[in-house]
Amino acid sequence: MQEKAIQELFHRYMNGTASPEEEQLLKASLRERNDEHRLELLEAEWEGLTQPDERYAQYDVEASWRKITAQQPARVFTMRRWAWAAAAALLVATGGTYLLTREQPVQQVVVTAPMPDVAPGTNKAVLVLADGSTVRLDSAGNQVLQQGATTVKQQGGQLVYDENGSAASVTYNTLQTPRGGLFRVTLQDGTNVWLNAASALRYPTAFVGKERVVEITGEAYFEVARDVRRPFKVQMGKEAAIEVLGTSFNVNNYASETASRTTLLSGAIRVTAGGQAVTLKPGQQASLAPDIKIAQDADLGKVVAWKNGVFDFDDVSLQDAMRQIERWYDIDVVYEHGIPGIVFGGKLPRNISLKELLAALEESGVQFRIDGEKLIVTNKQ
């Protein structure tokens, strides 16, 4: 194809007027040429815009981005810094990586080896029985365990405890999810608990006595079965606890987070810590750092996004997002030149690979590379 025809196709693609057939022809032609040729096309397109504002006003960037990533999860993610994401994405798709900034129309060719990939987390956990033995659980499992008068059934990514008679004594199980794991358990009283990655729940196989007590580390979402005679208590370490009769709430008690947070979705709970006691109403969030602080009108959708299979990075700092990524993809994050002061905006599904996730996040002005079990974070140059 002649050079002038390629340039015209490129221009039509960028302003959204190219037909599907023309788009395929353009991509095929670009794949046959080297990186220098693709860079010249972009330079010519850039120079064809005579006024600085026209560089952004003449193109429907969102439409172009949706076209380029028609089958990619990144299309649901909105970043705030890079108006020329469409141009960069087209060139990356055809074999080159280009960095564009608003401050100056200078393109830099970066030659890199293909980034390795990491699969997202799945339903997997380890069940530690009362005698210390362990049972590995995954999404394909289907088994039945007998513990005294209690029958434990695994069906895929869920455990269900069912008491068939009166428990002679209290025995405890611990459900542990690794990094990159997720699991659900229905306790003997009918309470449902969803465990996020790198979390653990210790609980009795059957509840006896005047209260129902479980212990949590990490993050979990509770839907507590109502029983006015036996309050439900969630213990977080030695001093902090949550008391509830019947409600739904989320507990984030990771040691790596800046504070333990309990968010109430429905019902009522009482949070105690360090000699303080506070009763929450739906929509409130209690932070323990170490004193109890109450936030009104918590973003409930964001709090339970993990349970619903979503990364909600709207107005989330890079460092906070990286902690979630570490746990879900079982990878250690390393900051090469300090922690960039970047705030994300948007949502992504949690069932995409790490490579797909990073491709979307890089539009914010940060770069990543995977080195073995490490995710290296650095500013774009």
Instruction: Give the DSSP H or E segment for 321.
Output: helix 318-329
**Long-range CB contacts (within 8 A, 24+) of 94-99:** 94/27, 94/30, 94/31, 94/38, 95/30, 95/31, 95/35, 95/38, 96/35, 96/38, 96/39, 98/39, 98/42, 99/380, 99/381
Token pair 């005047």 is found at 210
DSSP code string of 122-149: EEEEEEEPTTS-EEEEETT-EEEEEETT
User: Which pLDDT value is given to residue 1?
Assistant: 56
Q: Write the CB contacts of 119 (distance below 8 Å, at least 6 apart in sequence).
A: 329, 353, 354
Contact 287, 263 (CB under 8 A): no
Q: What's the pLDDT band for 8 if we cut at 50, 70, 90?
A: confident
Q: In CATH terms, is domain 310-379 a member of 2.102.10.10?
A: no
- The string of pLDDT tens digits covering residues 255-276 is 999 999 999 999 999 999 988 9
Q: What's the pLDDT band for 94 if we cut at 50, 70, 90?
A: very low
Q: What's the pLDDT band for 108 if we cut at 50, 70, 90?
A: very low
The stretch 306-316 carries a mean pLDDT of 95
Q: Write the CB contacts of 2 (distance below 8 Å, at least 6 apart in sequence).
A: none
Q: Write the CB contacts of 26 (distance below 8 Å, at least 6 apart in sequence).
A: 6, 9, 10, 13, 18
Residue 278 has pLDDT above 90, yes or no: yes
The stretch 300-327 carries a mean pLDDT of 96
Task: Provide the percentage of residues in the chain whose pLDDT is more than 90.
Answer: 56
Q: Write the CB contacts of 264 (distance below 8 Å, at least 6 apart in sequence).
A: 247, 248, 249, 280, 281, 282, 283, 284, 285
Q: What's the pLDDT band for 4 if we cut at 50, 70, 90?
A: low
The Cβ of residue 378 has, within 10 Å, a number of other Cβ atoms equal to 15
The stretch 190-213 carries a mean pLDDT of 95
Residue 111 has pLDDT above 50, yes or no: no
Q: Write the CB contacts of 267 (distance below 8 Å, at least 6 apart in sequence).
A: 224, 244, 245, 246, 247, 248, 249, 282
- The string of pLDDT tens digits covering residues 41-73 is 554 544 454 444 444 344 444 444 444 434 333
Q: In CATH terms, is domain 122-303 a member of 2.60.120.1440?
A: yes
Residue 105 has pLDDT above 80, yes or no: no
Query: What mean pLDDT value characterizes the chain?
Result: 79
Q: What's the pLDDT band for 202 if we cut at 50, 70, 90?
A: very high
The stretch 86-103 carries a mean pLDDT of 38
For residue 359 the two structure tokens come to: 């491709």
How much is the pTM? 0.70
Domain with CATH 3.55.50.30 in the chain: 310-379
Token pair 């390795």 is found at 116
User: Which pLDDT value is given to residue 290?
Assistant: 79
Among 137-141, 155-159, 167-171, 323-327, which is the least confidently predicted range? 167-171
User: Which pLDDT value is given to residue 363?
Assistant: 87
The stretch 324-328 carries a mean pLDDT of 97
Residue 98 has pLDDT above 50, yes or no: no
- The string of pLDDT tens digits covering residues 12-27 is 676 667 776 667 677 7
- The string of pLDDT tens digits covering residues 72-87 is 333 334 433 332 333 4
User: Which pLDDT value is given to residue 379?
Assistant: 76
Domain with CATH 2.60.120.1440 in the chain: 122-303
To the nearest 10°, report the CA torsion of 179, 184, 187, 189. 140
